[in-house]
């Protein structure tokens, strides 16, 4: 798979009873397609995969796969707390039509580098999929370090890495060590311009749920080589991105969807809805984006 363009890390819409709302989901996906996204990444952290049952996760994967067009990229989030669980979710995703999965380190376990390497090898041995590694230390407690990338440099099914570390030096280091061996997809949303400068070719983007058109416009401008115009477009969305990175990410993205006209409900506990003050602050940050 060639990773390209903006791929929303999809929220999971809920209704007022806390159940998955597939009517809202379809409306959201239709709008995002109209806004120009290149594919779909369900059941990631923005999608609250950790708060979904295994059957709910499968229902989300199946729904998105059935909605997707043949020319749209499909990447399934299949992370869990143990290698055994990850393999089971990955098998289900493969059966649902996903040839590529996005995998951070198992949460809570904080595996050492050799354990993390063995974890990914076990998934590759068990399921015929490609893997996009996912470096997100704030969520899982460990980094997908250079030792992991070194270990899989000759494994063609490990195709890339999503960088959500917030550390631009990671992108520079990956490019310096590996050239274009790994496709880098940006996940540090407030540093998108910088990560593209250092070799990112795509953006798996939680904020795209509520501001896809602006995100797509930014990436199109970068790909056209107009870096000064891209800098100006990054400045427009920076306030909202900075707010998202400051905390309560999933809640703000979901509230942003409401502001953008595609309400998706609120998160599952322990996530609580934003307070009125938090809503007002994020709405102000979104004003330049929404016009």
**Residue-range domain boundaries for the chain:** 5-226
**Please, is 23 exposed, middle or buried when counting C-beta atoms within 10 Å of its C-beta (0-12, 13-18, 19+)?**
exposed
- 5-226: CATH homologous superfamily? Aldolase class I (3.20.20.70)
Taking the C-alpha atoms of residue 189 and residue 195, their distance in angstroms, rounded to an integer, is 9
For the chain, how far is it from start to end, CA to CA, in angstroms? Answer: 35
3-state helix, strand, coil in the chain (%, to 5): 50, 15, 35
pLDDT value at residue 291? 80
DSSP 99: S
**Residue ranges, the chain, pLDDT below 50:** none
Positions annotated as catalytic residues are: 134, 162
Q: Which two tokens stand for residue 114?
A: 């050799």
Q: Which two tokens stand for residue 17?
A: 């009873």
pTM for this prediction: 0.96
């Amino acid at each position: 798979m060639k990773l390209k363009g903006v791929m929303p890390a999809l929220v999971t819409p809920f209704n007022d009873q806390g159940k998955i709302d597939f009517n809202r989901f379809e409306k959201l996906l239709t709008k995002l397609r109209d806004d120009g996204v290149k594919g779909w990444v369900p059941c990631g952290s923005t999608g609250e995969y950790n708060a979904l049952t295994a059957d709910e996760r499968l229902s989300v994967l199946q729904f998105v796969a059935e909605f997707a067009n043949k020319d749209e990229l499909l990447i399934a989030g299949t992370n869990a707390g143990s290698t055994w669980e990850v393999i089971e979710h990955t098998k289900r995703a493969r059966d649902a039509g996903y040839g590529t999965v996005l995998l951070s380190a198992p949460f809570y376990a904080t595996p050492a580098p050799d354990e993390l390497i063995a974890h990914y090898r076990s998934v590759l041995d068990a399921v015929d999929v490609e893997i996009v590694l996912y470096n997100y230390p704030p969520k899982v407690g460990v980094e997908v370090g250079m030792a992991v990338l070194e270990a899989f440099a000759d494994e063609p099914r490990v195709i890339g890495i999503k960088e959500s570390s917030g550390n631009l030096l990671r992108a520079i280091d990956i490019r310096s060590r590996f050239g274009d061996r790994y496709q880098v997809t940006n996940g540090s949303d407030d540093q998108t311009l910088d990560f593209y400068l250092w070799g990112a070719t795509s953006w798996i983007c939680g904020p795209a749920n509520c501001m896809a058109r602006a995100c797509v416009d930014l990436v199109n401008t970068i790909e056209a080589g107009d870096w000064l115009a891209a800098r100006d477009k990054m400045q427009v969305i920076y306030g909202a991105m900075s707010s998202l990175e400051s905390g309560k990410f999933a809640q703000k993205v979901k509230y942003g969807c409401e502001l953008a006209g595609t309400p998706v409900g609120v998160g599952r506990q322990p996530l609580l809805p934003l307070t009125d003050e938090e809503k007002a602050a994020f709405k102000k940050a979104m004003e330049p984006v929404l016009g």
